[in-house]
Amino acid sequence: MHTEQPRHASGAIIFVSLVAMIVIGIGTVAFAVMSATGQSQSGSASQTTTIDRTLGLELSLMVSPDLGPSGTVFQVNASVTNILPGTNNVTGLGDYKGVGSNPICKFAPIAFDVLQGYYTPGNYTSGEVVDVHGPQVYMCVIGGADLGYYVFQPNSDNFTGAGSSGIVQSRTAHVSVDVSQVWSDGSTGKAPLPPGQYTVVAADNWGQLAIVHFTVSY
């Protein structure tokens, strides 16, 4: 014999199903909004390379991320690499094309500046340099760490060389610096980079230039 299900029980089942569908729908929308917000607030990386095939050297420059809100850690990495399959002995020239800041005492043959605004190789010298290095830059002098010659290992940024003292040194032609802070008075006062567009210009000992850009969003 067929037993008819009470009407109030069927109504309850339908009500619960509708509530579940609404909750799932709200959760899906919230997740989509969160995902879209996260994607809009940070970028990937901006990178470039410059190659001097006569010298057999490659200058590479990267800033990561290339987009983020104020307070984001923007990391600059720059390196000079021997692109030849054998050792590469090159004379130091000290030609940094007017790029003046000296991160971490420039133990690598690389210097770079952060400029406020968007600049290219044709007009970067007119840009305003942002002080992202802090008090350590006052203890370093461009050229003070440069060597008279550099012997690079095959396909590598590792090198040995000697300066005016004649002491042979082994180093890596690579710098990695956090540029997310600006020093307002050059010694003690620092704050996150304000919103805007920025240019990173790097130069090596042999006059190669590389430029990348990043943006601090509002």
CATH number of 46-217: 2.60.40.1930
Task: Say what the pLDDT of residue 163 is.
Answer: 83
d(CA 27, CA 114): 42
Q: Which residues pair with 57 in a beta bridge?
A: 52, 82
Q: How confident is the model at residue 23 (pLDDT cuts 50, 70, 90)?
A: very low
> How confident is the model over 84-133, as pLDDT tens digits?
999 999 999 989 999 976 554 567 899 899 999 999 999 999 999 998 87
Structural contact between residues 180 and 74, judged by C-beta atoms closer than 8 angstroms: yes
> How confident is the model over 132-190, as pLDDT tens digits?
877 655 555 444 568 899 999 999 999 999 887 788 888 899 989 899 998 876 556 78
Q: What is the pTM of this model?
A: 0.76
